[in-house]
Amino acid sequence: LHARRQQEHTSTSSSSMHHDESVSIKTQQRQLNHQQPQHNDTVRGLPFPYCRYGRKWEDLHHSTARSLRTHLGYTRIGWNAAHDLENSQYNDIDEESKKWIRSHVLCSNDDEQNQKVWDCFVNHYYNYWWSDIQDAGLTQYFEVLGWTRDVWDGGNYNSYPASEFSSFEELDEAEQLAARQLCWFKDKWNGLSMEQWDPLPQPPQNISYDHDEHHPPTASPTDELDRPD
């Protein structure tokens, strides 16, 4: 498997997060047993972002997909797999883009929570320096996965730990638990497109995250903006 770390640390970040809360053994075991998050799952108190990961591109309302493409640059491939924007931590994203992330990606106006949810579930702290990881209280999880300050900040691909090249199934139990505390779950860790996730995470019933669902689409499903890339 190719390394999931998608970019080197080329810019200084000063993001700081609250220290993580302790997780009970029972909660850890429940997280390990779930192949995909359930609607009431949280990681260190952070809610799972169903708005981002509970909807394939093909399932989005046409107007929602158009807004994501026009304002944030998402495409079918970028939404169902990974998009360059997601290489950035939340605090490094420009304010105009954050507006659309709030309404169409995270579906929340709570920016303090959005920063934590984005950096964990979407960016997985890849744009952090080791000092940021320490400030966030996450060092223990990265160390279980084999990371050290020198290796993380050095960005030398040949020095990356074995976990970075392992499938989720190849990780031992402690590594799987550590990965989950960094908001990974099996199919995302394994680099699968959302079209291959089994099952797709399901949001709570009777809740819709489509910001534009009640607005008539301005183009048909065969519009150029809605064609697969």
Q: What is the mean pLDDT of the chain?
A: 80
Per-residue DSSP letter, 25: H
- Residue 57 near residue 206 (C-beta atoms within 8 A): no
- Reply yes or no: is the peptide bond before residue 37 cis, omega within 30 of 0: no
pLDDT of residue 13: 37
Residue-wise pLDDT tens digits, 100-155 = 999 999 999 999 999 999 999 999 999 999 999 999 999 999 999 999 999 999 98
Range of weakest confidence among 50-54, 146-150, 166-170: 50-54
Residues 47/37, Cβ–Cβ less than 8 Å: no
DSSP summary character for residue 46: E
Q: Span 217-221, mean pLDDT?
A: 36
What distances in angstroms separate CA 77 from CA 53, 83, 84, 105, 196, one per listed residue? 13, 8, 11, 15, 12
pLDDT tens for each residue of 77-106: 999 998 999 999 999 999 999 999 999 999
Instruction: Compute CA 80 distance to the chain's CA centroid, rounded to the nearest angstrom.
Output: 12
Q: What is the pLDDT of residue 37?
A: 57
**Contact yes or no for 41/159 (Cβ under 8 A):** no
SS3 assignment, position 106? coil
Q: Return all residues near 81 (Cβ < 8 A) that are at least 6 apart.
A: 191, 193, 194
Mean pLDDT of 53-61: 93
Mutual orientation of helices 25-33 and 173-181 as an angle, nearest 10°? 100
Categorize the per-residue pLDDT at 212 as very low, low, confident or very high, splitting at 50, 70 and 90. low
Q: Determine the Cα angle at 1 with ends 35 and 199, to 5°.
A: 25
Name which residue leads in pLDDT, 195 or 5: 195
Q: Is 42 helix (H, G, I), strand (E, B) or coil?
A: strand
In terms of Cα–Cα distance, which of 183, 189, 190, 174 is closest to 136? 183
Predicted pLDDT at 32: 45
Query: How far is C-alpha 1 from the geometric centre of its chain's CA atoms?
Result: 19
Percentage with pLDDT > 70 across the chain: 71
- Tell me which residue of 98, 122, 96, 89 sits closest to 10, measured CA to CA: 89
Quote the tokens at residue 189: 């860790």
pLDDT at 201: 86
pLDDT tens digit string along 181-211?
A: 999 999 999 999 999 998 888 877 656 665 5
Residues 172, 177, 179, CA angle at the centre, nearest 5°? 95
